[in-house]
Structure 1
Amino acid sequence: MVYELDRNNIPQHIAIIMDGNGRWAAERGKPRSYGHQAGVDAVRRITSECTRLGVKFLTLYTFSTENWNRPATEVAALMGLVLSSLEDEIFMKNNVRFQVIGDIKRLPIEVQEKLQGTMDHTANNSAMTMVVALSYSSRWEITKAMHEIADEVKAGTLLAEDITEDTISKHMVTNFMPDPELLIRTGGEQRISNYLLWQIAYSELYFCDTYWPDFSEDDLHKAIADYQHRQRRFGKTGAQVEQEEKK
């Protein structure tokens, strides 16, 4: 099915919870690592298509802080997959800048070095920024921000009464990009799973049953088309928004 997209109303920041790799593999009688590898192919597809459509930021929930509790063999396989999947082609071919957010210090040193090398190599790319949330959770991020703000208050460089929403946003690890307009979760689950809780206050949420390895360009178009048919009110009434759009 072809979805007619308004190219003047493409979300500038799409965040995705890439769910369903393990179940996709299990249905095929394969180990979970097989599903994660297939998920990398989906990342390549969706990255290329987001770039083509004019999306400026694509943030992918790759590995949460809670995922450290998974079996050691799966964690090791995921870390190895991170190393092997950070290839130049996906970034240089599409002019994509690479960034990572999360508690990176917990990652194996070889993964940290690979991540930094990819960020350095793609720093001048400008079509889109792909942000990988790795060893990330929103509660970790918010706690980190509160510690930094408390340190500033303790040092006397910030007054407690001067703390605003903007103060908190500036201490988030996502402070270099706008909040997502659209959050997509694949795999059939309908929860946020500790992902960008501060940033998605007014994001449009889209849930689909498709497992991430099967998520196609057509599925992406369907999600964006659904987004484009919603009225984004930000606390205002529909009548107010319609009046503003007429101006």
Structure 2
Amino acid sequence: MVSPRFVYSLYESRLQKRLPKEDLPNHIGLIHDGHRRYARRENLLSYEISYKIGMVRFKECLSWCDELGISYVTSWLLSRENLLRSEEELKTYFVVLNELFEELIIDDLVDNFKIQFIGSTDLLPDYLKETITRLQEVRGGGEKTLTIALGYGGRQEIIDAIKSLVIENKGKDPEGLVEEINDEQIREHLYLPDAPDVDLVIRTSGESRLSGFLLWQSTYSEFVFQDVYWPEFRKIDFLRCLREYTQRERRFGK
């Protein structure tokens, strides 16, 4: 009797081979949603367990992106709103994040990636900020780019961009400045001025909303909402997202 694992493996292999490489996204955005609901459904003793499983999936997904030649990956691991959760829950999550980042410092999995962070990282605990600094120093180069969004909010990014633009043009005539402001000027002051717009946004847990993720950069993105929690997200789910993306006709607002 053929095992289900073998069938899945065969299907996964066929699915990957049939993906048109020339049509794959250049920049993928990931919203890793569903850790807590997964923990409750599985009757886990704590959220820490589901968070740790989720970080294993995070590394696996990064390896899939590397394997398929995805040049830019932006992962939203913590929103500004998440910072309003209980101190106990945040403390647990911060410890798990710190363990992940410590692993990425030495893991050859990310040898091809430059790693950078966006968001209000100043709001994070000192020990976590120190690990982030070391990670960015060690992983400061690579042909591909992994951006990790922590304490990130799309509205805040746009507010910060406008503030930066105004400060840069301090002393100029306000009316003249208003006339000069355009898409490119605002883009130059976003957190990722050199990154291309996001081609595909994947959100797990069945939630069909952006929640403020890369509002400016996702204007013409394609969205795929997966009805699985992040800790159970499989490569076959990822490949299905890519297949759906390649089957769509992108119009870029036209």
TM-score (norm 1): 0.90
Structure 2 matches for 1:1-247, cutoff 5 A? 1-2=11-12, 3=15, 4-30=18-44, 31-86=46-101, 87=103, 88-90=105-107, 94-126=111-143, 128-156=144-172, 159-236=177-254
CA distance in 2 between counterparts of 1:109 and 1:92 reads: 26
Shift of 1:94: 4.2
* 2:31 partner amino acid: I
Shift of 1:95: 1.9
Shift of 1:152: 2.9
CA distance in 2 between counterparts of 1:105 and 1:51 reads: 30
Shift of 1:235: 2.8
CA distance in 2 between counterparts of 1:230 and 1:81 reads: 37
Shift of 1:159: 2.5
The SS at the match of 1:199 is coil
* 2:98 partner amino acid: L
* 1:133 partner amino acid: A
Contact 1:6–1:228 (8 Å) recurs in 2: yes
* 1:27 partner amino acid: R
* 1:213 partner amino acid: P
Identity of aligned residues (%): 31
CA RMSD of aligned residues (A): 1.6
Partner of 2:6: none
Shift of 1:168: 0.7
Shift of 1:226: 0.2
Contact 1:13–1:55 (8 Å) recurs in 2: yes
Partner of 1:243: none
CA, structure 1 residues 229+191, in 2 after alignment: closer, same or farther (shift >3 Å)? same
The SS at the match of 1:8 is helix
> When the two structures are aligned, how many residues end up with a matched partner?
235
Shift of 1:23: 0.9
Contact 2:63–2:109 (8 Å) recurs in 1: no
CA, structure 1 residues 92+222, in 2 after alignment: closer, same or farther (shift >3 Å)? closer
Deviations along 1:66-115, one digit per CA (max 9) or x if unpaired, are 01111111111111111110113445554222111001111111111111
Partner of 1:239: none
Deviations along 1:107-126, one digit per CA (max 9) or x if unpaired, are 11111111111111011222
Unaligned segments of structure 1, at least 5 residues: 237-247
The SS at the match of 2:117 is strand
Shift of 1:176: 2.6
Contact 1:19–1:212 (8 Å) recurs in 2: yes
Shift of 1:130: 1.2
CA distance in 2 between counterparts of 1:13 and 1:99 reads: 15
CA, structure 1 residues 213+83, in 2 after alignment: closer, same or farther (shift >3 Å)? same
Contact 1:153–1:160 (8 Å) recurs in 2: no
Shift of 1:182: 0.1
CA distance in 1 between counterparts of 2:109 and 2:140 reads: 11
Contact 1:33–1:77 (8 Å) recurs in 2: yes
Shift of 1:233: 1.2
